[in-house]
Amino acid sequence: MGAPERRPLLRQPEGVANRRIHGAGADGQSFPGGRELQRLSSRPACARARVVVHHPEGSSAIRPFTRGSRRREEVIGRRSDDGTETTGEPRIVPTREGYDLWSQVYDDEDNPLITLETALVERLLGDVRGLTIADLGCGTGRHALAMARAGGSVVALDFSAGMLAKARAKPGGTAVRFVRHDLTNGLPFASRSVDRVTCCLVLEHVVDLDGALAEMSRICRAGGFVLVSDLHPTMRLLGRQAQFTDPATGRKIRPAAARHQLSDYVVAATRAGLSIDHMSEHVVDEALAARSPRARKYLCWPLLLLLRLRP
């Protein structure tokens, strides 16, 4: 067996004083009331660091260590997202197939990313009364239904028939126009026809960020904005991505996903003619871990990326 290979963690980029990393906050919301954990131009607020050890036979679990203690790095075995030991790699399936299957249990799982993201997106959206909204990759309708209840006129797209069936069956489902559509085939909206575009926890599965953001820019009216949330790219460096447990087999399933860096989002938005009005990175803190136990093993790691973009 070969010796483990250590790979460096992300380094702080030069001249990025305005990027902020937030904790979830005691109320589950990161801004404006939540505690800012770290500016990238300052020292980290987390008192514990983490080491990732990569081995030729696969990624190991993450073991925390306290500053000042003797560093010992060892492969301690693979773990699934719920913290239990697992003997086989997750099964990778086509994205649409994966989400059709996931729809059976999507709303029933402890999902720390959704726990963290939902209130933050609602806050960034603001008042949507009387606005026309395109919700891209709506899933089981959590944001689409909330925006409709808040007075928005919502058209919600998803390419998963299973996800859409769950969304339509929920209370208030008739207030939203749900449409089955693959957003990588362009968007079925006229140019400058919507006030808000939301694309939440979707772009992880889209290879062509340039094309997707260009279409969002095209349909968004002047004075409106595009709101994007996504799994933070750091999670992919840790070997994590969207996954769930197949209710029939108990096996971990991963819908196929792309691998994006933080700069890919920024560059794609710029190429699409969008300006970045808001950008924030949100880490797992004790408050989130208390609400979503699966999050605890990611304490102090960035979990969520939020972008608000204006045409």
* Residue environment code for 163-193, b if the CB has 16+ CB neighbours within 10 A, otherwise e: bbebbeeeeebeebebeebebeeebebeeee
Give the residue among 146, 127, 102 at the shortest CA–CA distance from 248.
Answer: 102
Could you give the number of structural domains in the chain?
A: 1
Evaluated on CA atoms 126, 132, 138, 144, the torsion sign reads positive
Taking the C-alpha atoms of residue 221 and residue 126, their distance in angstroms, rounded to an integer, is 16
Q: Is the pLDDT of residue 70 over 80?
A: no
Taking the C-alpha atoms of residue 204 and residue 23, their distance in angstroms, rounded to an integer, is 22
Give the residue among 157, 123, 125, 116 at the shortest CA–CA distance from 305.
Answer: 116
Span 177-230, pLDDT tens digits: 999 999 999 999 999 999 999 999 999 999 999 999 999 999 999 999 999 999
Angle at 141 between CA 311 and CA 33, to 5 degrees: 65
Contacts of 242 (CB under 8 A, 6+ apart): 201, 204, 205, 231, 254, 255, 257
Q: How confident is the model at residue 247 (pLDDT cuts 50, 70, 90)?
A: confident
For residue 109, with 0-12 CB atoms within 10 Å meaning exposed, 13-18 middle and 19 or more buried, which class applies? Answer: middle
Quote the DSSP letter at residue 122: H
For residue 14, with 0-12 CB atoms within 10 Å meaning exposed, 13-18 middle and 19 or more buried, which class applies? Answer: exposed
- Segment (H or E) for 156: strand 153-158
Give the residue among 224, 216, 200 at the shortest CA–CA distance from 277.
Answer: 224
Q: Is 243 helix (H, G, I), strand (E, B) or coil?
A: coil
Q: Is the pLDDT of residue 176 over 90?
A: yes
- The answer to whether 34 and 27 are in contact (CB under 8 A) is yes
Span 73-112, pLDDT tens digits: 222 234 444 444 344 689 999 999 999 999 999 999 889 9
pLDDT, greater one: 259 or 58: 259
User: What global pTM score does this model have?
Assistant: 0.75
**Residues of the domain holding 33:** 5-310
Contacts of 265 (CB under 8 A, 6+ apart): 203, 209, 228, 230, 305, 307
Q: What pLDDT score was predicted for residue 94?
A: 96
Q: What is the CATH number of the domain that holds 157?
A: 3.40.50.150
